[in-house]
Amino acid sequence: MVEDMTVLTVRRWIDAAISVDHPCVLCGAPSRGLCEACAQDLDRVEVATPAGLDQLVVLTGYADVGRELVRQVKLVGRRAPLVPIATALAGAVQTPIDAVVPIPSSRSGLRTRGWEPPAHLAALIARQLPGRPAVRTALVRRDRGTQHGQSRVHRLEGPDLRWQPGSRSIGARVLLVDDVMTTGSTLANAAATLRAHGVSDVRAVVIAAAP
């Protein structure tokens, strides 16, 4: 089941932001990282839940305003919107969580950006979930390339996500965090790896998803 953010939920972003010193990353208006007008322009999207997931929460479609929001965060490095985004996504998770696991970035992506948006978002989400579950780097990415710009066949296969050597049990209920979902193969591969290591309930949240 896919759950979308309503306009009322989006408004919670603005109220939950830590600082008022950040202009809107989309239009530059005084705000807390994302102004109300731009937040209301985010598109609703209907996408299929990837195999292996018990719940998928999608904030917006990966087009127009949603695509630009992701670009500002992921490529430009504007982190301010992640605070209200985390509030909206955490509020949509309706079951207790034992651990929050970010999807690891590719080596080339990490080298280019110098930081990992999913890991940063995962930390913010974990602080707002009941019990403040730990953020665990339980997955390791073996391939070097990014999904961006690859053929659809390659993207349908998804990245090679394996259990982090030396990782201990992370509990039965895990929340995966990623920035963008296109084919869903990344989340499906991650869920399969987690379930192979004792996780029985796998949920995921993403900022944007391609329709």
Over residues 104-144, the pLDDT tens digits come to 988 888 888 888 999 999 999 999 999 999 999 899 998 65
The pLDDT of 27-35, averaged and rounded, is 83
Mean pLDDT of the chain: 84
pLDDT score recorded for residue 99: 96
Q: Are 141 and 176 in contact (CB under 8 A)?
A: no
Q: What pLDDT, in 10s, does the model give residues 69-110?
A: 999 999 898 888 898 889 889 999 989 999 999 999 888 888
Q: What pLDDT, in 10s, does the model give residues 49-69?
A: 999 999 999 999 999 899 999
Percentage, residues of the chain above pLDDT 90: 52
- Structure confidence at residue 39 as a pLDDT band (50, 70, 90): confident
In the structure encoding, which two tokens stand for residue 29, read together?
A: 């208006």
The pLDDT of 2-7, averaged and rounded, is 43
Contacting residues for 92 by C-beta, under 8 A, at least 6 apart: 3, 5, 9, 57, 205
Ranges 149-153, 157-161, 192-196, most confident: 192-196
By three-state DSSP, how is residue 103 classified?
coil
pLDDT score recorded for residue 5: 44
How far apart CA 208 and CA 102 sit, in angstroms, is 15
